[in-house]
Amino acid sequence: TRSIDLAVVAGDGIGTEVVEQGLAVLESAVAGSDVKISTTEFDLGARRWHATGETLTDEDLGRIKEHDAILLGAIGDPSVPSGVLERGLLLKLRFSLDHYVNLRPAKLYEGVTSPLANPGEVDFVVVREGTEGPYVGNGGSLRTGTPHEIATEVSINTAFGVERVVRDAFARAQARPRKHLTLVHKHNVLVHAGHLWRRTVEAVNAEFPDVTTDYLHVDAATIFLTTNPSRFDVIVTDNLFGDILTDQAAAITGGIGLAASANINPDRTAPSMFEPVHGSAPDIAGQGKADPTATVLSVALLLDHLGLTEEARRVETAVAADLAERGGRVRSTAEVGRELAARVAG
């Protein structure tokens, strides 16, 4: 038997509801195999912060690191000042565990209605850099709250950091039928960071000569995501542009209720983390209304990352089949989870 130790951070709002279903589907996927999943729950998020003032302690982080992977629901609540949990918990996890590949597939499944009139076939992945760029938290403010305030945000980009994520993106492009990589940046304005990205893509391309590449400014990318999303195969981009483009990508493929993501440490020096792209949605929390599909698809990414590719495929196939037959049916979070788990069991 192979035992997988999973750290579970259900978090806030609908996080707990969707994670419960994600775990049920995960169990179903490995049932009857020699894989055994054990889970450890971590009490992190708004409740813990209100109770203790803590977001993520060194001890939490140390214990999380002992696991094989992390399943995260959602972080954030209106009762907590903006930035506290995002920077102190979610981004701290991504940065501390060196999740430099933030992988976000965008696929328009059969049966899902796109808000676009003519979406065509949409099936691409965004490789969003996860440990640098404008997200580093390097900034500050002076004379805060006065008419002379100045606030800065520094985007930091290193050859080391850009090269490793670009190489990962090339490898992913090479493994796909179309073998195409699009760099998205804004190198005509952000010339220093942008040219580093551009030079890196050109250099690493030599290692992947069969991968074709092109470049789009981030503003133009939002146009193509609206008018011709089929043109994309793999997108590689920085942390902030990736944040923006993946929400738009989710919107055109049926909404963030379906969008999965993986925060991957490809060097496996720390556990990778799998989470739906959506947030904690306090407006519908506790009502059993949330769609757990994004979490279930994140579980498929988790299985894949752990080398359980056959199990991953079964989970994705179950979701695809469910989406194809879903129609306008209104189901609870638990119903969707139950039906998906049943399909995975086969």
Ligand X SMILES: CC(C)[C@H](C(=O)O)[C@@H](O)C(=O)O
Give whichever of 175 and 191 is closer to ligand X, judged by the CB atom. 191
Report d(CA 294, CA 300) in Å as an integer: 10
Residue type at 203 in one-letter notation: A
Task: Report the 10 Å Cβ neighbour count for 323.
Answer: 17
Give whichever of 176 and 224 is closer to a second copy, judged by the CB atom. 224
Question: Residue 191: which of a second copy, ligand X, none does it interact with, CB under 5 to 8 A by kind?
Answer: a second copy
Report d(CA 283, CA 281) in Å as an integer: 5
- Of 12, 60, 233, 243, the catalytic one is 243
List binders of ligand X among 82-101 (CB under 6 A): 86, 90-91
Instruction: Report the SS3 class of residue 27.
Output: helix
| Catalytic residue list contains 179 | no
Binding flag, residue 77, ligand X (CB under 6 A): no
Backbone angles phi, psi at 133, to 5 degrees: 70, -155
- Of 186, 233, 238, 304, the catalytic one is 186
Could you tell me the two tokens for 6?
């999973």
| Catalytic residue list contains 135 | yes
Instruction: Give me the residue whose beta carbon is nearest to ligand X.
Output: 86
DSSP state string for 62-98: HHHHTSSEEEEEE---TTS-TTHHIIIIIHHHHHHTT
Give whichever of 187 and 314 is closer to ligand X, judged by the CB atom. 187
- Of 92, 179, 215, 247, the catalytic one is 247
What's the Cα-to-Cα distance from 190 to each of 82, 131, 139, 150, rounded to whole Å?
Answer: 27, 18, 17, 20
List binders of a second copy among 245-284 (CB under 8 A): 245-248, 250-252, 255-256
Specify the long-range contacts of residues 164-168, CB closer than 8 Å, at least 24 apart. Answer: 164/100, 164/266, 165/100, 165/101, 165/127, 165/129, 165/130, 165/236, 166/197, 166/200, 166/201, 166/204, 166/236, 167/204, 167/207, 168/100, 168/101, 168/127, 168/266
Binding flag, residue 189, ligand X (CB under 6 A): yes
| Catalytic residue list contains 100 | no
Binding flag, residue 116, a second copy (CB under 8 A): yes
Min dist CB 140 to a second copy, Å, is 6
> Is 173 flagged in the annotation as binding?
no
- What is the chain's length? 346
| Catalytic residue list contains 214 | no
Min dist CB 207 to ligand X, Å, is 29
Binding flag, residue 230, a second copy (CB under 8 A): no
Report the interface residues with ligand X, using CB under 6 A: 86, 90-91, 188-189, 219, 243, 277
Report the interface residues with a second copy, using CB under 8 A: 76, 82-83, 86-87, 91, 113-118, 134-135, 137, 139-141, 143, 145-160, 163, 186-196, 198-199, 218-220, 222-223, 225-227, 240, 243-248, 250-252, 255-256
